[in-house]
Amino acid sequence: MTPPLHLLLARTLTLDPAQPEVGAVLVGGGRILAAGSAEELGALAPRAQRHDHRDLLLTPGLADAHIHLVGYGFSLSQVGLHGARSVTEVQARVAQRAMNTPHGTWIRGGGFLMSELGLTEYPSAALLDEVSPHHPVLLYSRDLHLAWANSLALRLAGISDATPDPAGGKIVRPLGTLLESATDLVVGAIPAPSEAQYLAAAKAGADDLAARGYVSAHTMAYEAPEAPRALQTLASRAELPLRVWASLPHERLHLARELGLGLGVAPQGPGGLFQWGGVKFFADGALGSRTAWLHAPGFADGSGTGIALDSPELIRELGAQAIALGLTPVTHAIGDRANTEVLDAYDHLREAAAARGIRLRIEHAQHLRPADVPRFAGLTASVQPMHLQGDGAMIRQLLPHLEAETYAFRALRDAGAVLAFGSDAPVTPPDYRANFAAAVSRVDDEGGRVAPHEALTELDVLHAHTRGPALAAGWEDEGIIRPGARAAFTLWDRLGGNARALVL
Ligand SMILES: [Zn+2]
């Protein structure tokens, strides 16, 4: 029996240099069979089911190359405080949730900024007690460096006026706000999610992404082991609407070895949508917390040169083991020093990686020395243009000497790096529109322009959201419209506009 054939009629950007634009695509058995003109393909398969989208634009399917998919799923069921402009607004949203939640159940939320709420002093527990006396409440600020809790949450965490500040954190008095590691005291009191809750969050995250027009995602480590397990379970039940490439933290590399996870190939059939692909390292912290690892002179406010996390020696040693298992080394590097060190470590891995067909990759690659840009040739630069919107002011203030090589997408691409765009959700919502806007205009939230000479075209952005991630994952059959490729598309009213996924 032959599978049913589908004939898609639409203005189609293929990203295949041999045939960049066509008017029709023929699909069967989940694969692209042919791309060409409507007449040509119509004659080839006269009985194919026709999908007439001639008012729309068809492209390879969108990918998010850096997301915490299950954490994002959890965030969707929490109280969203993005855009809240006053304490009253926060109270109203928490009160609303409390009304629909059984007493004693934790209410969690996030996304506010003190400055946006008009707060000049840290908020107190009493403000939340007014609207939620019977539910423990924990709300994170958008930058995750501060949490706001009510009295019940503090009591369950055993925090009183007499509790001393933990190392690396501060319990603000009067009680209510917790800074840095002090937030862990409250998080530790929240019951761990059940397996069913992990599954529900995995499904919610994946479904949300698919509804936005995405067909695949690279989910990063930095989640509990239950998170990727839930995605695997969904895949095995054929309930995963996306193709997922997952990386595990290097601390669990020995498990991959023991369990034979490092297959390095995408399994076929039902469940074939989930693949272990990478091993994650962290070379440094982040800009806002002054923990990005920098060359001298460091941060312009005199706060030093940041911190190193996983050492270059460790990345080199465990990176080699990852490659031997067919897994891609994936390293978070934000500061210019972190990037130099990772590139140095990668120099020792390039040959082995090339022999296995593995593309070494760096996550964020935000601030670079000019001399390091050409060293990205052949590597994946997994970057999130939308973050430059919020970072612009901070870059001008903290790293004026690096501004020209900040978010250096054009230079990286010209150097021969594969650009792969993502969101880092739940840090930022997975909205490809923001990546289009930021990468093309370079305009930040304050109206400034960050290194405008690094602007890309919309077609560049499309590539970095489709074919780029596919190449990063080693998926030759993804992110391109040509015979043999996966039949996973995105349909647009215009490039960068409204999108929906079409997977056949
Ligand atoms: Zn991340």
> Bigger pLDDT: 335 or 288?
335
Least confident among 51-60, 162-171, 315-324: 162-171
Measured in Å, residue 83 CA sits from the centre of ligand 1 at 22
3-state secondary structure 303-339: CCCCCECCCHHHHHHHHHHHHHCCCEEEEEECCHHHH
| Single-letter residue type at 85 | R
Q: Is 237 helix (H, G, I), strand (E, B) or coil?
A: coil
Question: Within this chain, do residues 143 and 167 fall inside the same structural domain, yes or no?
Answer: yes
From the CB of residue 308, how many other CB atoms can be counted at a distance below 10 Å?
Answer: 17
**Residue 322: pLDDT over 60:** yes
| pLDDT above 80 for 79 | yes
Provide the CATH number for the domain around residue 26.
2.30.40.10
User: For a pLDDT cut of 90, what percent of the chain falls above it?
Assistant: 84
* Contact yes or no for 75/424 (Cβ under 8 A): no
How many whole angstroms from 131 Cα to the centroid of ligand 1? 33
Query: 């729309």: which residue's tokens?
Result: 56
Res. 238: pLDDT tops 70: yes
Percent of the chain at pLDDT exceeding 70:
97
Q: How far is the CA of 364 from the centre of ligand 1 (A)?
A: 9
Same domain, 32 and 81: no
Please tell me whether the peptide bond between 297 and the residue prior to it is cis, using omega within 30 degrees of 0. yes
Between the CA of 68 and the centroid of ligand 1 the distance, in Å, is 6
Q: How confident is the model at residue 267 (pLDDT cuts 50, 70, 90)?
A: very low
**pLDDT given at position 266:** 45
Q: Is the peptide bond before 174 cis (omega within 30 degrees of 0)?
A: yes
Q: Are residues 53 and 143 in the same domain?
A: no
Q: How far is CA 412 from CA 130, 280, 441, 450, in A?
A: 52, 21, 17, 16
CA distances from 171 to 132, 175, 176 (A): 21, 7, 8
Q: State the Cα–Cα distance between residues 215 and 81, nearest whole angstrom.
A: 28
Alpha carbon of 273 to ligand 1 centroid (Å): 21
CA of 251 to the centre of ligand 1 (A): 17
Report whether 372 contacts 342 (CB < 8 A). Answer: no
CA of 492 relative to ligand 1 center, distance in Å: 27
Residue 121 within any structural domain of the chain: yes
**Which of the listed residues 187, 210, 235 is the one where a domain comes to its end?**
187
List Cβ neighbours of 300 (8 Å cut-off, separation of 6 or more). Answer: 397, 398, 399, 400, 401
Judged against a pLDDT cut of 70, whether residue 262 lies above it is answered with no
Tell which residue, 20, 24, 21, 22, has the closest CA to residue 42.
24
Confidence of residue 1 (pLDDT cuts 50, 70, 90): low
Does 495 fall in a domain?
yes
Q: Are residues 38 and 127 both part of a single domain?
A: no
Residue 224 domain-assigned? Answer: no
Arithmetic mean of pLDDT over the chain: 93
The alpha carbon of 381 and the centre of ligand 1 are apart by a number of angstroms equal to: 14
C-alpha closest to that of 66 among 415, 439, 421, 367: 421
Beta bridge partners of 170: 179
In a shared domain, residues 23 and 84:
no
Q: How far is the CA of 66 from the centre of ligand 1 (A)?
A: 6
Which of the four pLDDT bands, split at 50, 70 and 90, describes residue 115?
confident
Q: What is the CATH number of the domain that holds 105?
A: 3.10.310.70
User: Are both 77 and 166 inside the same structural domain?
Assistant: yes
- Determine, yes or no, domain membership for 439: no
Q: Answer whether residue 502 is part of any domain.
A: yes
Rounded to the nearest whole angstrom, what is the distance from the C-alpha of residue 48 to the centroid of ligand 1? 43
Rounded to the nearest whole angstrom, what is the distance from the C-alpha of residue 350 to the centroid of ligand 1? 24
CA atoms of 158 and 150, how far apart (whole Å) = 13
Cα of 139 to ligand 1 centre, how many Å? 20
Higher-pLDDT residue of 169, 7: 7
pLDDT for 62: 98
d(CA 216, CA 242): 5
Distance from Cα 67 to the centre of ligand 1, integer Å: 6
Question: Mean pLDDT lowest for which of 36-50, 174-188, 257-271, 440-454?
Answer: 257-271
pLDDT-based confidence at residue 280 (cuts at 50, 70, 90)? very high
Position 143 pLDDT exceeds 90: no
For residues 6 and 27, what is the distance between their CA atoms, to the nearest angstrom? 5
409 belongs to a structural domain = no
The CA 118 to ligand 1 mean position distance, Å, reads 29
Strands 21-28 and 31-36: antiparallel
Mean pLDDT of 446-473: 97
Ligand 1 centre distance from Cα of residue 145 (Å): 15
- What stretches of 100-174 show up as alpha helix (H) in DSSP? 125-129, 151-156
Cα 75 to averaged position of ligand 1 atoms, centre (Å): 14
Enumerate the β-bridge partners of residue 12.
22, 58
Is residue 132 included in any domain, yes or no? Answer: yes
Q: How far is ligand 1, taken at its centre, from the CA of residue 285, in Å?
A: 11
Question: Cα–Cα distance between 265 and 278 in angstroms, integer?
Answer: 12
Same domain, residue pair 81 and 27: no
Cα–Cα distance for residue pair 320/314, rounded to 1 Å: 10
Q: 426: CA distance to ligand 1 center in Å?
A: 8
Mark whether 7 and 114 lie in a shared domain.
no
d(CA 424, CA 428): 6
Q: Read off the pLDDT of each residue in 123-150 and give the average, rounded to a whole number.
A: 93
State which amino acid sits at residue 224: A
Of residues 115 and 444, more confidence is placed in 444
Distance 495 CA to ligand 1 centre (A): 26
How far apart are the CA of 69 and the centre of ligand 1, in A? 10
Q: How far is the CA of 424 from the centre of ligand 1 (A)?
A: 5
Residues 83 and 182 occupy one common structural domain: yes
pTM of structure:
0.91
Token pair of 110, please?
A: 């996030």
In a domain, 30, yes or no: yes
Q: How far is the CA of 332 from the centre of ligand 1 (A)?
A: 8
CA distance 368 to 495: 30
pLDDT over 70 (residue 472): yes
pLDDT (mean) for 153-176 = 94
Amino acid (one-letter) located at 446: E
Average pLDDT over residues 304-315: 94
**pLDDT score of 261:** 57
**Mean per-residue pLDDT, 130-156:** 93
C-alpha angle with apex 335: 332 to 340, nearest 5 degrees? Answer: 80
Same domain as 38, residue 11: yes
What's residue 323's pLDDT? Answer: 96
Kindly give the distance from the C-alpha atom of residue 446 to the centroid of ligand 1, in angstroms, as a whole number: 24
pLDDT at position 435: 98
Which residue among 168, 187, 206 closes a domain? Answer: 187
31 and 110 in a single domain? The answer is no
Q: Are residues 81 and 179 in the same domain?
A: yes
Using the 8-state DSSP alphabet, how is residue 371 labeled?
A: G
Q: What confidence category does residue 260 fall into, taking pLDDT thresholds of 50, 70 and 90?
A: low
Question: Which residues are 216's β-sheet partners?
Answer: 63, 243
DSSP symbol at 364: E
Q: Which residue has the higher pLDDT, 144 or 152?
A: 152
- The Å distance, Cα 166 to ligand 1 centre, comes to 26
Give pLDDT tens digits for 373-424.
Answer: 999 999 999 999 999 998 998 899 999 999 998 999 999 999 999 999 999 9
Residues spanned by the domain of 117? 72-187
Q: What is the tally of structural domains in the chain? A: 2
Residue ending a domain, among 169, 187, 205, is 187
Q: What is the pLDDT of residues 421-438, one digit of tens each?
A: 999 998 889 999 999 999
